[in-house]
Structure 1
Amino acid sequence: MIKRLQYFNTIVETGNMSETSRIFDVQPSSISRQLAVLENDLGVRLINRNSRNIALTEAGHRFYSYSKQIILDLDEAKRVINDLQQVPSGMLNLSVTVGFGEAVIIPLLPKFKAAYPDVDLRVEITERIVDLIEENTDVVIRSGNLTDSSMIATQLATNDFILCASPMYLKENGTPLAIDDLVNYLCIKYGYAGWGNWFLKGEKLEKIEIENSIEVNTVNGQKQLVLNHGGLALIPHWAVKNELENGDLVQVMRDHHFCPYGKDTAVYAIFLRRELISPKIRVFLDFLKENLN
C-alpha cells in the first residue's frame, strides 16, 4: 500500500507516469498497474489518463493531500526510530551559570563523559544571555521563566532560596525574627539580571525593603561574604548545603519563604525547538534529570 501511495504522489508531483517510472526504476506498465490497484481498493478513479496526458479527478485532488501527509508522517517516524538507534556522538556545546553551573553541573560532567565517550563537551560558564542559534549552543542551563517560544525548557531541579548568616554575625547582631527586622541588618544581595531585590513568597510576591546592603554578581561571592560574617544572604540552598550541615552557616527565619525574583525559581535546561532532538542532547538531558534528582 505504501509503495502505491508513493507512486501516486510522484505521478501528481511530476505530472508524468514515465518520469515516475524513471524515478522508481520500474516499468511504466508497473506504475500503471499499481495505480489501478489503488483505485480499485478505494473504489474511485483518482487520475484520468490517456497516452499523453494525465489529470487528477476531484477525488484525486482530495486524496493527494492525505496521501502526501501519510508519506511525510512515515518518513518522520523512520527518522525518529533511526535517531533512537544512533550512538550519541559529536561536540555538545553547553552554557552554564557561574553559580549553579560550577557547583552542580561541572562536577557531573566526568561521569557523563565516562558514560558517553563519543560525546565531546565544550562548556561556557557565564551569566549573560546566550543566543543558541548565533553561538551554536546546544543546551543552556538557567533559572527562572522562559519567554521565547522558539525554545523548549525542561526543568532539572528546584532552586530553593534560604536566608542565612554565620554564627558569629548572629552572635554580634542578634537573630532576625520578622520581616521588619531586616532593615537593621547588612544584607548581601545577588545583583545580576535584576535579582537584587528580595521577595517574600505567599499568595502573592511581597517586595522586601532593604536599606543596608552589599551587592555582588556571583553566588560564590555571596557565599564568601556571608562565611566571613558580612551579613545576611538570600542564597540558593544548593550553594550552602555543606556549610549548613557543618555549622559554618545558620538558616534564619525558617518559616518564611524567600526568592530574589519571580515565583518560578527552578533550574531549566533550555534548547531549540526542533522536530527531532539529537541523540547527544537527549542523553545529556536524561543524564541531568537522573543525577540531579
Structure 2
Amino acid sequence: MITRLQYFNCVVETGSISEASRLFDIQPSSISRQLVALESELGVRLLNRTTRSVGLTEAGQTFYRYSQRVVAELEEAKKAVNDLQESPRGHLKVSMTVGFGECVVLPLLTKFRQQYPEINVELELTERVVDFVDENIDIAIRSGRLPDSNLIAKRLADNNFLLCASPEYLEGKEALKSPTQLIDFDCIRYGYAGWRDWFLMEDDVPTRLTINPNLTINTVNGQKQLVLNHAGLALLPLWAVHDELRNGTLIQVLPDFVFSPYDVMSATYALYLKRELVSPKIRVFIDFISLHIDG
C-alpha cells in the first residue's frame, strides 16, 4: 500500500506516469498497474488519464492530501529509526545486582550522562533473574555462571574476590597464615544462594573451605559495612573495595591465596538480546562500563 501511495504521489507531482517511472527506475506499465490496483482497492477513480496528461479527480484531490501526509510521516519514521541507529539516544533500561549497581555503576552515571546526554537511563537493582521481553530490559549485568539462553554475553571483567578485614578487627588476633585457620575467625557470608560457600582456587581446582559464618547478609554493600565496622572477615569483589584498600580502612587477608564464592573462576557479563543491529545506546553503555570498571 505504501509503495502505491508513493507512486501515486509522484505521478500527481510530475503530471506524468512516464516521468514517475523514470524517477523510480521501473517500467511505466508497472506504475500503471499499481495505480489501477490502488483505485480498485479504494473503489473510486483517482486519476483522469489521457495520452498526454494525468489529472486528479475530485476523489483524487481529497485522497492526495492524505496520501502526502502518510508518505511524509513514513519518511519521518524512517529518519527517526535511522537516527537511533546512528546516534546513542533514547530510553535505556539496565538491570544489575544491588552491589554492582551501588559500588560501580552509580558513581559513573554522572560522567556517562555528561558524555551521552540524549540517553535516559533507568536502573533496576535486583538479585533476581529478569525477563528481558516482559520487563523491557535492554541490558542485564550479572556475575558467575550464566544460564543457557538466547542472550549475547559480553565479558566486562574477571571477578577478583579478596578476603578482607579491618585492621581493628585483626588487631590482637592470631596472625592468619593459612585458609585452614578461617574456622577460628568471624566470617561474614553473602546471603545470595550462589555465593554461600567459599572456595580456595589452586590451579583452577576448587577446594571448599570450612568457615564460621556468624553473619549472613544479602547485599555486597552490607557485607562491606559489617567488615568496616570490625564484625569479621568477608570475601568481597575487588570492584566493591578498591577505595577502602587504597586508603587503608580495609586490608587484604591471605593475599597469596586465590578465593572465590564459586567453584569456578568467574566473570561479570553484560547481557542483551540477540539482534541483527545492536542499538548504539546499548553498545556505548556496555563499552563505557567495561572501560571504567575496576576489578
Equivalent residues in 2 for 1:267-286 (5 A)?
267-286=268-287
**Aligned residue in 2 for 1:104:** 104
Q: Secondary structure at the match of 1:263?
A: coil
Asked if 1:229 corresponds to 2:230, the answer is: yes
Asked if 1:240 corresponds to 2:259, the answer is: no
Residue 184 of structure 1 deviates from its aligned partner by 0.7
Q: 1:169-216 deviations in whole A, cap 9, x for unaligned? A: 211322221121111111111111320100011231111112342111
Cα distance in 1 between the residues matched to 2:83 and 2:207: 48
**Aligned residue in 2 for 1:251:** 252
Contact 1:199 1:258 in 2 (8 A): yes
Equivalent residues in 2 for 1:106-255 (5 A)?
106-203=106-203, 204-255=205-256
Residue 83 of structure 1 deviates from its aligned partner by 7.4
1:140 corresponds to which letter in structure 2?
A: A
212 and 115 in structure 1: CA distance in 2 versus 1, 3 angstrom threshold = closer
**Normalising to structure 1: TM-score of the pair?**
0.70
Q: 1:19-61 deviations in whole A, cap 9, x for unaligned? A: xx9x9852469xxxxxxxxxxxxxxxxxxxxxxxxxxxxxxxx
- Percent of aligned positions with the same letter in both sequences? 52
Q: 1:133-152 deviations in whole A, cap 9, x for unaligned? A: 11100001111122233001
1:127 corresponds to which letter in structure 2?
A: E
275 and 85 in structure 1: CA distance in 2 versus 1, 3 angstrom threshold = closer
Q: Secondary structure at the match of 2:136?
A: coil
1:162 corresponds to which letter in structure 2?
A: L
1:132 corresponds to which letter in structure 2?
A: F
**Normalising to structure 2: TM-score of the pair?**
0.69
Contact 1:177 1:253 in 2 (8 A): yes
Pairs aligned (count): 223
RMSD over aligned Cα atoms: 2.6
Cα distance in 1 between the residues matched to 2:259 and 2:251: 16
Where does the alignment leave 5 or more consecutive residues of structure 2 unmatched? 1-20, 31-81
Cα distance in 2 between the residues matched to 1:27 and 1:109: 57
Contact 2:190 2:217 in 1 (8 A): yes
Where does the alignment leave 5 or more consecutive residues of structure 1 unmatched? 1-20, 30-81
Contact 1:165 1:252 in 2 (8 A): yes
